[in-house]
Structure 1
Amino acid sequence: MSDESANEESASQAKPLSAVARRCLGVLIEKAKTTPDAYPLSLAGIITGCNQKSNRDPKMNVDEGDALRALDELREAGAVREIQGSGRVTKYRHAAYEWFNVDSPGSAIMTELLLRGPQTLGELRTRASRMHPFVDLTAAQAEVGSLIEKGLVFAVTPPGRGQTFAHCLYTPVERQHLAAKVEKQASEESSAKSAPAAGAGSLANEGRIDKIQQRLDDVTARLEALEAKLADLES
């Protein structure tokens, strides 16, 4: 086999998907990792996972018709396979490793982005660790960098504290909305920074507030990860 053929086979097949299709794919990967005894999933299981309250953003109210259309979309794209379960119940399994051309760490990061939308590196590391352990932030950063090289992830905001990352499976219209939202937030932050300074004491307070906010974000992410584990155990 030529090098060119090998590269074509190892390349990612991922492409933009509808919002419900992305949620269904994320649910299938998540449940395969966190509740393997209940995997592959039935249609009812997929719907329950899509409408789950914990570890989901935005919240959804997916019905049977929505899920079936999304699964048809995923099958046509090559991301999901339909199998015959026990009792002739149709079940579904993902083909994410081949479709994304990623291993376990990469699929964990992609799953969190599919289920929760744009997130910071710290949030991704904490939340994805329930599916694959990331020893530190550097390990998560290396994996995100690899996904960026594959064209699966992009940086939503410029480098710096709180830099946000997103997956590349948004539709063109969604990408435009996301870019407009980020531009608006950047403009608001810039206006706040350009306001007259209120003295050294105020600047020091702002620095302390930033540190407190960062710690709160970390704690929130950890609590959400624990809630997701509890939800998986309950299911």
Structure 2
Amino acid sequence: MNESESDIKWQTLERHDRRVVGVLVEKAKTTPDNYPLTLNSLLNGANQKSNRYPQMQLDEEHVFDALERLRKLGAVAEVQGDGRAPKFRHLLYDWLGVDKFELAVMAELLLRGAQTIGELRGRAARMEPIAGISELRPILDSLNGKGLLLYLTPPGRGCIVTHSLYQEQELEKLRAEHGNVHVEAPAPTAKPPTPSVASNTAPTDNNEIALLRAEVAALRKELKEMIWKIRVDVDELQSHVGMERD
């Protein structure tokens, strides 16, 4: 790792805490004029239907409790305002030890969980300019070196990554969903010596199987999101039609 253990401030977080602090980072980058956030703004951001997975239905108590835990950990601070509702801001640059590009990537992973690097690049680019996969890879390598990012599948087409702020039982479940494939870091870029055909057959097959599993898992996740969004749209349409009839 690039940092000594004594320099590391971050630790694993509960799922509500991850959602709340992820919202703080997202809103700081995408709507800076409305940042820091009130408790109500945080609640709306945590429960919003876009750019979130899984969907949550938190209440004020959930968000308040999450803020209290995050404050004790040094990840969030309350801002003294002008006498109105208190506001909150994140301290993740220092808490995680990251730059603005790394934080954008971490925010997307906190808000949506495991995803392919292609999905991650497109989503993180709404917060910081990341032109392509070639620009994303050094960011991922840096986060991996800091222990903040995990490769759930071997690097390559359909590679899936996630953050390492999960609770241990959550991480075990996540690894199981992706075929129990766990990769600490990308494969070296240097070309290795050419092996014999016989010795190379089994590893190639294993890699292909792992990549296929990763692609299937990613497609299943996207399908679940699409079904959920369709249901939401239908509910909203039915509600709108009912109001017009009344």
**TM-score, with structure 1 as normaliser:** 0.74
Q: What is the CA RMSD across the aligned residues, in angstroms?
A: 2.9
Amino acid of the structure 1 residue aligned with 2:93: Y
1:72 and 2:59 correspond: no
* Cα distance change of structure 1 residues 58 and 149 upon mapping to structure 2, 3 Å threshold: same
* Cα distance change of structure 1 residues 185 and 141 upon mapping to structure 2, 3 Å threshold: closer
Q: How many residues align?
A: 190
Q: In 1, are the aligned partners of 2:117 and 2:160 still within 8 Å (CA)?
A: yes
1:82 and 2:52 correspond: no
1:31 and 2:27 correspond: yes
- 5+ residue gaps in structure 1? 1-6, 195-209, 221-235
Q: How does 1:180-199 map to 2 (within 5 A)?
A: 180-183=176-179
Using the alignment, how far apart are the partners of 1:16 and 1:57 within structure 2? Answer: 18
- Percent of residue pairs identical: 46
Q: SS state of the match for residue 159, structure 1?
A: coil
Question: Which of 135, 142, 164 in structure 2 is aligned with 1:146?
Answer: 142
Give the CA deviation at 1:41: 0.2
> Comparing both structures, which one devotes a greater share of its residues to helix?
1
Give the CA deviation at 1:84: 1.9
| Equivalent residue number for residue 57 of structure 1 | 53
Q: SS state of the match for residue 183, structure 1?
A: coil
1:98 and 2:78 correspond: no
Q: In 2, are the aligned partners of 1:74 and 1:80 still within 8 Å (CA)?
A: yes
Using the alignment, how far apart are the partners of 1:10 and 1:134 within structure 2? Answer: 31
Give the CA deviation at 1:180: 1.4
Give the CA deviation at 1:135: 2.1
Using the alignment, how far apart are the partners of 2:157 and 2:53 within structure 1? Answer: 22
| Equivalent residue number for residue 170 of structure 1 | 166
Which 4+ stretches in 1 moved above 6 angstroms?
Answer: none
Higher mean C-alpha deviation, range 148-157 or range 176-185 = 176-185
1:46 and 2:42 correspond: yes
Q: How does 1:102-113 map to 2 (within 5 A)?
A: 102-113=98-109
Q: In 2, are the aligned partners of 1:24 and 1:50 still within 8 Å (CA)?
A: yes
| Equivalent residue number for residue 204 of structure 1 | none
Give the CA deviation at 1:88: 3.3
| Equivalent residue number for residue 121 of structure 1 | 117
| Equivalent residue number for residue 14 of structure 1 | 10
| Equivalent residue number for residue 175 of structure 2 | 179
1:161 and 2:157 correspond: yes
Using the alignment, how far apart are the partners of 2:175 and 2:72 within structure 1? Answer: 28
Using the alignment, how far apart are the partners of 1:10 and 1:163 within structure 2? Answer: 32
Q: Which has the higher contact order (CA 8 A, sep 6+)?
A: 1
Q: SS state of the match for residue 81, structure 1?
A: strand
- 5+ residue gaps in structure 2? 183-204, 210-214, 226-246
* Cα distance change of structure 1 residues 153 and 65 upon mapping to structure 2, 3 Å threshold: same
Using the alignment, how far apart are the partners of 2:143 and 2:4 within structure 1? Answer: 17
Q: SS state of the match for residue 77, structure 2?
A: strand
* Cα distance change of structure 1 residues 68 and 147 upon mapping to structure 2, 3 Å threshold: same
